[in-house]
Amino acid sequence: MDETIHATGHENVTATHESTFELTSDDYLTPAGDCILGVEADRVPTDFDEAFVAACQSAGATITATLEAGDHTVTVTGRGHPDLSFENDRSMVARTSEYVDDRTIMIGAEAAASNLDRGLIEALSAGAELTLTLSVE
Protein backbone atom coordinates (compact mmCIF):
# COMPACT_ATOMS: atom_id res chain seq x y z
CA MET A 1 0.00 0.00 0.00
CA ASP A 2 1.47 3.35 -1.07
CA GLU A 3 1.01 7.09 -0.63
CA THR A 4 2.73 9.47 -3.05
CA ILE A 5 3.60 13.07 -2.29
CA HIS A 6 5.00 15.63 -4.75
CA ALA A 7 7.00 18.60 -3.49
CA THR A 8 9.59 21.06 -4.76
CA GLY A 9 13.16 21.63 -3.71
CA HIS A 10 14.29 25.05 -2.52
CA GLU A 11 17.53 27.04 -2.51
CA ASN A 12 17.69 26.73 1.31
CA VAL A 13 17.65 22.90 1.33
CA THR A 14 20.82 21.90 3.21
CA ALA A 15 19.76 18.53 4.68
CA THR A 16 22.19 18.63 7.59
CA HIS A 17 19.81 17.49 10.34
CA GLU A 18 21.06 14.33 12.00
CA SER A 19 17.84 12.70 13.20
CA THR A 20 14.98 13.63 10.83
CA PHE A 21 13.94 14.55 7.33
CA GLU A 22 10.79 16.48 6.50
CA LEU A 23 8.49 17.66 3.72
CA THR A 24 6.17 20.61 4.23
CA SER A 25 3.22 22.12 2.42
CA ASP A 26 4.59 25.58 3.26
CA ASP A 27 5.77 27.56 0.23
CA TYR A 28 8.93 28.85 1.91
CA LEU A 29 12.00 27.52 3.69
CA THR A 30 14.36 29.44 5.94
CA PRO A 31 18.00 28.42 6.44
CA ALA A 32 17.04 27.12 9.90
CA GLY A 33 14.98 24.31 8.29
CA ASP A 34 17.94 21.96 7.99
CA CYS A 35 15.77 18.82 7.94
CA ILE A 36 13.37 19.98 5.22
CA LEU A 37 13.88 18.42 1.79
CA GLY A 38 10.88 19.85 -0.04
CA VAL A 39 8.26 22.58 0.13
CA GLU A 40 4.80 22.97 -1.41
CA ALA A 41 3.95 19.32 -0.75
CA ASP A 42 0.71 18.49 -2.55
CA ARG A 43 -0.44 16.14 0.21
CA VAL A 44 -0.07 16.06 3.98
CA PRO A 45 -0.66 13.30 6.55
CA THR A 46 -4.35 14.18 7.02
CA ASP A 47 -4.85 13.36 3.31
CA PHE A 48 -3.58 9.78 3.60
CA ASP A 49 -5.95 6.87 3.10
CA GLU A 50 -7.37 5.38 6.31
CA ALA A 51 -6.20 1.88 5.36
CA PHE A 52 -2.64 3.17 4.86
CA VAL A 53 -2.73 4.88 8.26
CA ALA A 54 -4.07 1.75 9.95
CA ALA A 55 -1.32 -0.35 8.37
CA CYS A 56 1.34 2.10 9.61
CA GLN A 57 -0.08 1.90 13.13
CA SER A 58 0.92 -1.74 13.39
CA ALA A 59 3.94 -2.16 15.67
CA GLY A 60 5.33 -4.64 13.15
CA ALA A 61 4.89 -2.41 10.11
CA THR A 62 7.85 -1.66 7.87
CA ILE A 63 7.59 1.73 6.18
CA THR A 64 9.77 2.55 3.19
CA ALA A 65 10.28 6.10 1.93
CA THR A 66 11.52 6.41 -1.65
CA LEU A 67 12.76 9.91 -2.50
CA GLU A 68 13.24 10.81 -6.18
CA ALA A 69 14.64 14.07 -7.57
CA GLY A 70 16.38 14.54 -10.88
CA ASP A 71 18.45 11.43 -11.61
CA HIS A 72 18.69 10.50 -7.93
CA THR A 73 16.69 7.97 -5.96
CA VAL A 74 17.16 7.25 -2.26
CA THR A 75 15.31 4.68 -0.18
CA VAL A 76 14.98 4.91 3.60
CA THR A 77 13.34 2.20 5.69
CA GLY A 78 11.81 2.63 9.13
CA ARG A 79 8.98 1.34 11.28
CA GLY A 80 5.39 2.04 12.11
CA HIS A 81 4.02 2.58 15.61
CA PRO A 82 0.55 2.36 17.21
CA ASP A 83 0.72 6.07 18.17
CA LEU A 84 1.22 7.37 14.60
CA SER A 85 -1.83 9.58 14.06
CA PHE A 86 -1.17 11.17 10.64
CA GLU A 87 -3.21 14.17 11.83
CA ASN A 88 -0.90 16.98 10.76
CA ASP A 89 -2.22 19.21 7.99
CA ARG A 90 1.09 20.90 7.19
CA SER A 91 4.15 18.64 7.30
CA MET A 92 5.48 15.10 7.63
CA VAL A 93 8.62 13.94 9.44
CA ALA A 94 10.59 10.69 9.27
CA ARG A 95 12.58 10.14 12.47
CA THR A 96 15.57 8.00 13.38
CA SER A 97 14.37 8.14 16.99
CA GLU A 98 11.31 6.62 18.65
CA TYR A 99 9.63 10.02 19.14
CA VAL A 100 6.06 10.27 17.83
CA ASP A 101 3.91 13.35 17.31
CA ASP A 102 1.19 14.30 14.81
CA ARG A 103 3.81 15.00 12.10
CA THR A 104 5.62 11.66 12.43
CA ILE A 105 5.26 9.30 9.47
CA MET A 106 8.01 6.83 10.43
CA ILE A 107 10.21 6.01 13.42
CA GLY A 108 13.50 4.16 13.56
CA ALA A 109 14.44 5.46 10.10
CA GLU A 110 17.76 4.12 8.90
CA ALA A 111 18.80 7.59 7.68
CA ALA A 112 18.17 11.26 8.39
CA ALA A 113 18.63 14.31 6.16
CA SER A 114 22.38 14.45 6.83
CA ASN A 115 22.83 10.84 5.64
CA LEU A 116 21.10 11.24 2.29
CA ASP A 117 22.87 11.14 -1.05
CA ARG A 118 24.41 14.55 -1.66
CA GLY A 119 23.50 14.40 -5.36
CA LEU A 120 19.84 14.26 -4.33
CA ILE A 121 20.34 17.19 -1.96
CA GLU A 122 22.12 19.26 -4.63
CA ALA A 123 19.23 18.65 -7.03
CA LEU A 124 16.74 19.73 -4.35
CA SER A 125 18.71 22.87 -3.47
CA ALA A 126 18.60 23.72 -7.20
CA GLY A 127 14.79 23.50 -7.07
CA ALA A 128 14.20 20.02 -8.49
CA GLU A 129 10.81 18.37 -8.20
CA LEU A 130 10.68 15.77 -5.43
CA THR A 131 8.52 12.67 -5.31
CA LEU A 132 8.18 10.85 -2.00
CA THR A 133 6.55 7.44 -2.16
CA LEU A 134 5.69 5.89 1.19
CA SER A 135 5.07 2.14 1.20
CA VAL A 136 3.93 0.06 4.14
CA GLU A 137 4.16 -3.68 4.64
d(CA 6, CA 1): 17
- Nearest Cα to 107, choosing from 72, 136, 133, 69? 136
pLDDT of residue 127: 97
pLDDT of residue 83: 98
* Mean pLDDT estimate for the chain: 98
pLDDT band at residue 13, thresholds of 50, 70 and 90? very high
Instruction: Give Cβ neighbours of residue 117 (< 8 Å, ≥ 6 apart).
Output: 72, 74
> Looking at the DSSP assignment, which residues form a beta bridge with residue 110?
none
Q: Which domains does the chain have, with CATH numbers?
A: 2-136 (2.60.120.630)
Distances (CA, A) of 14 to 58, 78, 114, 131: 33, 22, 8, 18
pLDDT in tens, 72-120: 999 999 999 999 999 999 999 999 999 999 999 999 999 999 999 999 9
pTM: 0.97
